[in-house]
Amino acid sequence: MARRPMMAANWKMNKLIEEARDYVEQLLPRIEGARGVDVAIFAPFTCLPEVVRRTQDAPVVAGAQNFYHEDSGAFTGEVSAPMLRDAGAVTVIVGHSERREIFGETDETVAHKAARAVSAGLLPVVCVGETKEERDAGSMWDKVSGQVRAVFEQLDAGQIGGEALVFAYEPIWAIGTGETATPEDAQDAIGRIRALLGELGGEGFAGEVRILYGGSIKPGNVDDIMAQEDVDGGLVGGASLEAESFAELVNAAAKHG
């Protein structure tokens, strides 16, 4: 089944509003020829309205990096799904490894967020992945499969289409380290995730769900990674902070669309 590639920029805690404006202005002309690929910019909350404004007439969507699963209430410092929709976001990252590792988000927390995003009409990009210690201990698949299964304790695969969510496999040991899983490593993990999705929701569902690779993806390795059968794009950190390098990734993904 043909799946539309997706290339997503995760700016993390970077960029001021003026920098976000300049970035989008530099990016758009560089990706004019990129057809058949979905492009998303996951901006800090402060930059989100500016990214929305600058991409309204462009083939780029704006997303947030986090939210809280309740819609309102006494949750100081949190942002809800309706607030994101109100600001113009159409997608949101859920359960990034930094949220899990630094801020203590559990599989259950991530699952609640994924379910609320879907019900709110936001596209969740659900991150899963293992640490170096877990990989070295041979428990990579126990960790990753547990994270995936937890999502479907809150979401019924039979009630949603595979296009309602995206997964991103991000080996934690390859984030921001310059160390990258080989294309074969990425395919092995993502292929196993897709097979698990087939068990949980059927082959049709599994064939629709896009699974991205995240972990030091950059212009030098994007073609080899995108050539893998089950890799549908990238969740990009460091290489997305400059418009020129992110445009290279978008254009590379378009070749595989």
Which of 96, 105, 134, 208 is the catalytic position?
96
State mean pLDDT over 21-42: 96
Which of 98, 130, 134, 170 is the catalytic position?
170
Reply yes or no on whether 96 is catalytic. yes
Start-to-end CA span in the chain (Å): 12
Residue with token string 């949750």: 75
pLDDT digits (tens, 9 = 90+) for 90-122: 999 999 999 999 999 999 999 999 999 999 999
Distance, CA of 165 to CA of 73 (rounded, Å):
26
Mean pLDDT, the chain, rounded, equals: 95
Please name every residue paired with 164 in a beta bridge, in sequence order, or none if there are none.
none
pTM here?
0.96
Reply yes or no on whether 170 is catalytic. yes
Residue 234, φ and ψ in degrees, nearest 5: -140, 145
Q: Does CATH place domain 6-255 in 2.40.50.220?
A: no
Domain extent listing, the chain: 6-255
Q: Which pair of structure tokens corresponds to residue 212? A: 């991205």
| Angle, CA of 38, 29 and 219, to the nearest 5° | 60
The pLDDT assigned to 178 comes to 66
pLDDT digits (tens, 9 = 90+) for 211-256: 999 988 999 999 999 999 999 999 999 999 999 999 999 999 999 8
State mean pLDDT over 16-43: 96
Distance, CA of 83 to CA of 205 (rounded, Å):
29
| Angle, CA of 220, 177 and 251, to the nearest 5° | 30
Give the number of other Cβ atoms within 10 Å of residue 116's Cβ. Answer: 21
Q: Which pair of structure tokens corresponds to residue 197? A: 């999705």
